[in-house]
Amino acid sequence: MRLAFFGDVVGKPGRDVVERYLPRLRDQLSLDFVVVNAENAAGGFGLTEAIANDFFDAGADCLTLGDHAWDQREMVSYIERDSRLIRPLNYPPSAQAPGKGSNIFALPDGRMVGVIQLQGNVFMRQALDNPFLVLEDALADMRLREVCDAIIVDMHCEATSEKMAMGHHCDGRVSLVVGSHTHIPTADAQLLVGGTAYLTDAGMCGDYDSVIGMKKENSVYRFLTQLPGERYQPALSDGTLCGVFVETDDKTGLATRVEPIRMGGRLQSLVPAA
């Protein structure tokens, strides 16, 4: 199976590159399933139904969210109506968070893909339940090779150590563990010893002439003065599409190939060979 995951979409430049390049990549790489992290797509803060539909039209099969899941009020009801949206699984039961933190998707040929999103706790503004413990119940319901032909885990968190620990914790039990949230693509795409593909952060889809997708002047001012300054706004120059491509063995569900994807904008282009 051929899978792709694209990192946090930030504002209009991120939306533009997803809509421009994703249809081409689906054909070029013969992608079977595509996940896009879309939690910053609406002006840098959250997601709307209209934007989600644009991503689905471009070729996304599933949209993951994160700590900005509820920035747009409409998401509270929209996520209940569309099972293709996945928010962090490890909200405590007392939160009664709407939507799902994991789901299983059926491909047209009958193969099944599981998607799980977890939110880390180290340096994060929200404290959710322990993602390492919550993961186990989800994996029990979508066992690789028995229930799902492939499983993708989006580990949405700040600390690289927490992401790497999750990768090793899942090794041999899922197809891909990929980090989101920090918006900077890392250079450590690899196959772990148990056969799980891993990347610490897929990077953002957005304008890299910025501070993690936001106008650089606003961020520099805050660091210089420690004052709030103006509200953060997305940078609006040309965007770069960032993500990861994974190929799996249908007999095992484990990865045989993992490569980064970068297209457009300021970063060096990296496109896997078909």
Residue 234 resides in a domain: yes
Residue 165 CB neighbours (<10 A): 16
Q: Are 246 and 4 in contact (CB under 8 A)?
A: yes
Q: Which residues pair with 263 in a beta bridge?
A: 241
**Confidence at residue 212, expressed as pLDDT on a 0 to 100 scale:** 98
Known catalytic membership, residue 169: no
Identify the band that residue 113 occupies on the pLDDT scale cut at 50, 70 and 90. very high
Residue 124 resides in a domain: yes
In the predicted model, what is the mean pLDDT of the chain? Answer: 97
Say how far residue 126 (Cα) sits from the centre of its chain. Answer: 18
Q: Which amino acid is at 179?
A: G
Percentage of the chain beyond pLDDT 90 is 99
Residue 200 resides in a domain: yes
Tokens read off for 257: 């190939």
Domain of residue 99 covers 2-263
Residue 136 resides in a domain: yes
Residue 74 resides in a domain: yes
**Confidence at residue 204, expressed as pLDDT on a 0 to 100 scale:** 98
Residue 257 resides in a domain: yes
Does residue 142 sit in helix, strand or coil?
coil
**Confidence at residue 83, expressed as pLDDT on a 0 to 100 scale:** 97
Percentage of the chain beyond pLDDT 70 is 100
pTM of the predicted structure, to 2 decimals: 0.98
Q: Which of 68, 156, 181, 183 is catalytic?
A: 68
- CATH code of 206's domain: 3.60.21.10
Q: Structural domain tally of the chain?
A: 1
Residue 271 resides in a domain: no
Residue 252 resides in a domain: yes
Q: What is the pLDDT of residues 159-218, one digit of tens each?
A: 999 999 999 999 999 999 999 999 999 999 999 999 999 999 999 999 999 999 999 999
Q: Where do runs of H (alpha helix) occur along the chain? A: 11-28, 49-58, 75-81, 131-141, 160-170, 216-225
Identify the band that residue 57 occupies on the pLDDT scale cut at 50, 70 and 90. very high
Long-range contacts of 43-46 (CB under 8 A, 24+ apart): 43/11, 43/233, 43/234, 44/10, 44/11, 44/213, 44/214, 44/232, 44/233, 44/234, 45/71, 45/72, 46/70, 46/71, 46/72, 46/75
Say how far residue 162 (Cα) sits from the centre of its chain. Answer: 16
